[in-house]
Amino acid sequence: GPEAPAIEAEVTRRGLQETVQLHGHLSHEAKDALVAGADLHLSASQGEGFGLSVLEAAAQGVPTVAYDVDGLRESIRDGITGWLAPEDALTDLTETALKELADPRRREEVAEACRAWAATFDWDASAHRVAELIAGAVTAQRGRRR
């Protein structure tokens, strides 16, 4: 996108060309494959409406470390599908998560929990839940009018 030149310049300024790969626009399939190869997803966001990138990573079996803030808190089951960090503790918690994921059994347990959690955020299931909420609100309103 339009930020690419500034990001590339910052990577160069910091001497991170050997460590940081900038992929540009990717198809959904290519993005999913890239995410699936990650050990951990890190979100440094200080607030989100909803953690869509967290669920995209979870769908690939990749847990997230993120700040314990609205939006991200709702998309991570702390200690199960990822880890929620208090303010100023993201780096320490990331190191802890990577150590925990070094155990193959724990890693697979977390990956399975991530995939199962992400599967609950299905459009059809979400539409059904919204319809139930609306029906419940309508029923409650009718009951008040009597």
CB 39 within 8 A of CB 100: no
Q: Is the pLDDT of residue 146 over 70?
A: no
65: which strand partners?
A: 42, 83
Q: Identity (one letter) of the amino acid at 2?
A: P
CB 114 within 8 A of CB 94: no
pLDDT digits (tens, 9 = 90+) for 61-110: 999 999 999 999 999 999 999 999 988 888 888 898 999 899 999 999 99
Q: Identity (one letter) of the amino acid at 115?
A: R
Domain ranges across the chain: 1-36, 39-120
pTM for this structure?
Answer: 0.77
CB 129 within 8 A of CB 75: no
CATH number assigned to the domain covering 39-120? 3.40.50.2000
